[in-house]
Chain A
């Protein structure tokens, strides 16, 4: 790489007037076919929920395509843009309404790309939230296979009544696997 990257810095405590936006966590509107709830809690190393974190998701549509459509910041209610942003609430919870992503490559495991920011977290963290259920694809997934078995489950969302739960643990027991892509 020819140019060294600009380092990251913490999002700090004062991002709420700037980054979250109206409709940010609603990738699809109520009543949309296949609408699901993706939600969870962000925890620190003491198991305490983090009320000043920000979670972003970036995902394929239900058919496994990456959206090239604009409009994530001003949603029209019809166009699926694949991007969502949600600040955690007072209980450390975040919540998105979206659709389950399809696998981008045939027979690959489908996942949400997840980016986490928080006061106290000096640089953003990237991870994946895999959809549960397709055991054959999960068992063959190159990233999951490269992990010790006891850590794989930190990347697999759990089904619930309306969708999936994906908790994020920044540190300690059950620490989420965070990713590095070779250049930072």
Chain B
């Protein structure tokens, strides 16, 4: 496809990419041993993910104290979404194919406060690893009963909850025989716009983790594992579905109590 961007004319193999990933890990471990602070964020400049080569800023992000509108976030409410949008398995005439799951968890800010009544959006591939998206070329079946798009609002405790189908892994064109671990895309808002987050939730024990440059772009293993849900038998429902729990932590807030009262 036209959007493949690589520095070399030959497409890399998985082994080539593994070597690049290993070299970055080695460099990171050496920096840690030298006393560097562990990284908590995703690297923007991560060459094993080829599409990032021309799409990351080369200059450091500029530190700025949030001001004005940045100290507030858009407000969403019952008017914005339908309660049925939280169930991705009932959007069509029949049941989608695959393993029915519930994914639930809590959205909190960096101080541990629940993010209440805020919008959570998700999208994902179907059980066969195929998106409904018109540009998904993976020769796996589209499921006429699954769009793979959901929305909900968090409750007063910051909890969100989706019923869906466990997505399949899917191939992509980063390198030869490249496969993404199964994931659900998440979009989140906090109480301040600087907390805006788009990320991906993964499933425990995925054999593709070590091979995936997008997952590995979070070079610190503890930070990376924050994207992996846990299987939770208390979420699993008798003769109905299995359950996963995944909590999300947004960054800290900056608004002062005085502004809060306004």
Contacts and interface: CB of A to CB of B under 8 A. Distances in A.
Interface of A: 1-19, 44-46, 48, 50, 52, 56, 58-60, 66-74, 81-83, 101, 103-105, 108, 111-113, 115, 117-126, 142-143, 146-147, 170-172, 175-184
Given A4-B222, A143-B67, 9 more contacts: A14-B125, A17-B123, A17-B147, A58-B69, A58-B73, A119-B3, A142-B67, A177-B62, A181-B254
B135 A13 contact: yes
Interface string B104-130: 000011111000000101110100000
The 4 A-B residue pairs with the shortest CB-CB distance, nearest first, are A120-B51, A70-B77, A18-B123, A180-B61
B4 to A, nearest CB: 11
A5 to B, nearest CB: 5
Contacts of B40: 4-5, 7, 184
Contacts of A9: 42, 185, 198-200, 214-215, 217-218, 227
B121 A19 contact: yes
Nearest to B188: A6
A73 B136 contact: no
22 contacts: A3-B111, A4-B40, A8-B197, A8-B198, A9-B214, A10-B214, A14-B133, A19-B123, A60-B69, A73-B76, A81-B75, A104-B69, A119-B3, A120-B51, A120-B54, A122-B42, A122-B43, A123-B41, A142-B65, A142-B67, A181-B254, A182-B65
Contacts of A125: 57, 61
B92 interface: no
A122 B62 contact: no
Contacts of B125: 14
A7 B218 contact: yes
B222 to A, nearest CB: 8
Contact of A120 (B49, B59, B67, B222): B49
Interface of B: 3, 5, 40-44, 46, 49, 51-81, 108-112, 119, 121-123, 125, 131-133, 135-136, 147-149, 151, 185, 187, 193-194, 196-200, 214-215, 217-218, 222-224, 226-227, 248-252, 254
A94 B215 CA distance: 29
A59 B69 contact: yes
A70 B65 contact: no
Residue from the set A44, A108, A122 with the largest chain B CB neighbour count within 10 Å:
A122
Nearest to B60: A180
Nearest to A46: B54
A171 B54 contact: yes
A124 B55 CA distance: 11
B74 A81 contact: yes
Contacts of A71: 77, 79-80
Contacts of B147: 17
Per DSSP, are chain A's interface residues mostly helix, strand or loop, or mixed? Answer: loop
B54 A18 contact: no
Contacts of A10: 49, 52, 198, 214
Nearest to B131: A14
B47 to A, nearest CB: 11
Contacts of A13: 3, 133, 135
B83 to A, nearest CB: 14
Nearest to B123: A18
Contact of A175 (B58, B64, B148, B223): B58
A116 to B, nearest CB: 10
